[in-house]
Chains A and B, each alone.
Chain A
Amino acid sequence: MNIAIASGKGGTGKTTVATNLAFYLQHHAKEDVALLDCDVEEPNCHLFLKSVCLETKKVILPVPSLDPDKCTGCGKCSEICQFAAIACIKGKVLTFPELCHGCGGCILACPAGALSEQEREIGTVETGTSGKIKTVYGQLRVGEAMSPPLIRAVKSHAQNGQINIIDSPPGTSCPVIQAVKGCDFVLLVTEPTPFGLNDLSLAVEMVRVLGLPFAVGINRSTIGDEKVREYCRNEKIPIILEIPEDREIASMYSRGRLVLESLPHYMEKFEKLYLQLKEVIPC
């Protein structure tokens, strides 16, 4: 069972919900629990779960490498490339590995066999544990633009028969889509403010385009206004979690502590969340 925690906007509390849900489930679910942090640009879950890293694996993207002796300068490689990652100027071939999507087209198109594949590291995937939780997170190399292949590498650790919680990056474009695609359920975390509502409505459009079942969780539910609740009512979207604004949570969060570790009275909220998730997700 794959549950994605997503939100159009950053900073709404995705990581708080994902880490505390995993913490709750490790003691209360029958299945094994894995937390896959797909916010590879800024992974944070491991900071809260204090995961012990057991293995670090490089994630590589195949990019073309040129053998100048074989190159005839015909330009077929740059003709096929849709990403401007390879150029042929006056018979000389230049490659721009940062722009390469690794489709392999240039290599197939080269009639002289002058191109082969070389590996380019885009980041790492760290696997480890935190209590009974299996933790996986990706870390994109700083300065690196291509996050979706790294997100795919993190998601490849999702196993059948266990509960995989997927912490998604913010936004509604390629990285988030890569993270939520194929999940059984998406929990959209938002705040009851105009920013929260604007970005929630974009995220709702996204999960609808992808055809995924979803519900909303409202964080800092006692600030702002009623418009998010009104919106959910009108759109018939269930709200399955509300966490009030609480300076104690903010203070625990600032120190990198889990809510449930330090404020056990919130356990009930996560129990309720789990029961609701069990109801809506086909096992």
Chain B
Amino acid sequence: MLKELVVISGKGGTGKTSIVAALASLLNNKVLADCDVDAADLHLVLQPQILEKKEFWSGKTASINRENCAECGKCLELCRFAAISNDYAIDNIACEGCGVCAYFCPAGAIDLKDNLCGHIFVSRTPHGPMVHARLDIAEENSGKLVSQVRTQARALAYAEKRSAVIVDGPPGTGCPVIASISGASTVLVVTEPTVSGIHDLERVLELARHFRIPAIVCINKWDINPGISASITNKCEQIEARVVGQIPYDGAVTRAQVQGISVLEYDPGSPASLELQKLGKVVESLLNQ
């Protein structure tokens, strides 16, 4: 059966993408997916060659035909998102596309128009196929785009008879994260040993439990604060979220990023690379179970 591992973190900037890039070079026979569609960065390390580009349409925006508009004020009265100005102009950013204005306009002067919100790409990388996306600026529905990237990645895995999908997830606990973990086999939560890191880790593990998805944890830069790292490990044991990796602070990670390659390719003997290799083995055995 196809396994899907999603790498998430309550907080952004904990090292998700660097870890996914490392896993990409360690694991065989997988498809990669970048579901951090707001700030997609995996392509900066994996240098994908784009094979296919598809439009992503989602949601609607109201549009007033001024010739038919009788300026009766019904739309202004009914819109709950303050998206229509007193002179009957639609604020595209505030408009939720709920269609209430269009449905109740007595003059039939309002239409709902479909939004082109971004693009989905299917690419080839040195480490296997990859699905990624670009959400246009100020567009909504990143959750829906995340779902489409995952669907696309799974379809590709089935077509190419690959055994796993490795997903670089978005930060937070809201809509895009929910869309990226629902129905996944395992989540790998990346955290840092900081007071805010623990706070965010607790929230994201609660989210994984809420959706009944088994979670494993990796502490990045664990040696910045060994005391907090130890208490994270304790806390995780209590709630059966195993800590499967502790990666030391290592300047080679940033240097690799600047070169546009994973730290394993940049310096396979560096302290971070050695720990990432161990993490890769654990993840591999989990995916082969």
Q: Which residues of A contact B (CB under 8 A)?
A: 8-12, 15, 39-42, 44, 47-48, 80, 82-83, 101-105, 108-109, 140, 142-147, 169-177, 181, 193-195, 198-199, 202, 205-206, 209-210, 223-225, 250-251, 253-256
B225 contacts A by Cβ under 8 Å: yes
Q: Which residues of B contact A (CB under 8 A)?
A: 10-14, 17, 38-39, 41, 44, 59-60, 78, 80-81, 93, 96-100, 103-104, 112, 135, 137-143, 170-175, 177-179, 192-197, 199-200, 203, 206-207, 210-211, 224-225, 228, 251, 254, 257-258, 260
B7 to chain A, nearest CB (A): 14
**Which residues does chain A contribute within 8 Å of B224, judged by CB atoms?**
250-251, 254
**Which residues does chain B contribute within 8 Å of A102, judged by CB atoms?**
80
Given contacts A145-B178, A193-B258, A254-B228, contact A108 B137 (CB under 8 A): no
Complexed CA–CA distance, A177 and B81 (Å): 14
Interface centre among B98, B210, B251 (most CB of A within 10 A): B98
Q: Are B175's CB and A80's CB within 8 A? A: no
B102 to chain A, nearest CB (A): 9
B264 to chain A, nearest CB (A): 17
| Chain B, residue nearest A150 (CB) | B174
Q: Are B196's CB and A256's CB within 8 A? A: yes
List 12 A-B residue pairs with CB atoms under 8 Å apart, sorted by A's residue number.
Answer: A10-B12, A11-B171, A42-B172, A80-B103, A103-B99, A104-B80, A142-B210, A193-B257, A198-B44, A210-B93, A251-B224, A256-B195
**Which residues does chain B contribute within 8 Å of A172, judged by CB atoms?**
38-39, 135, 137-138
Q: Are B140's CB and A174's CB within 8 A? A: yes
Complexed CA–CA distance, A255 and B13 (Å): 18
| Chain B, residue nearest A16 (CB) | B196
**Which residues does chain A contribute within 8 Å of B103, judged by CB atoms?**
80, 105, 108-109
Complexed CA–CA distance, A225 and B44 (Å): 15
| Chain A, residue nearest B40 (CB) | A198
Q: Are A11's CB and B173's CB within 8 A? A: no
Given contacts A105-B99, A171-B38, A254-B195, contact A11 B11 (CB under 8 A): yes
**Which residues does chain A contribute within 8 Å of B41, judged by CB atoms?**
9, 194-195, 198-199
Complexed CA–CA distance, A253 and B249 (Å): 15
**Which residues does chain B contribute within 8 Å of A177, judged by CB atoms?**
93, 138
| Chain B, residue nearest A247 (CB) | B224
Q: Are B137's CB and A224's CB within 8 A? A: no
Q: Are B39's CB and A202's CB within 8 A? A: yes
A166 to chain B, nearest CB (A): 17
| Chain A, residue nearest B97 (CB) | A82
**Which residues does chain A contribute within 8 Å of B257, judged by CB atoms?**
193-195, 224
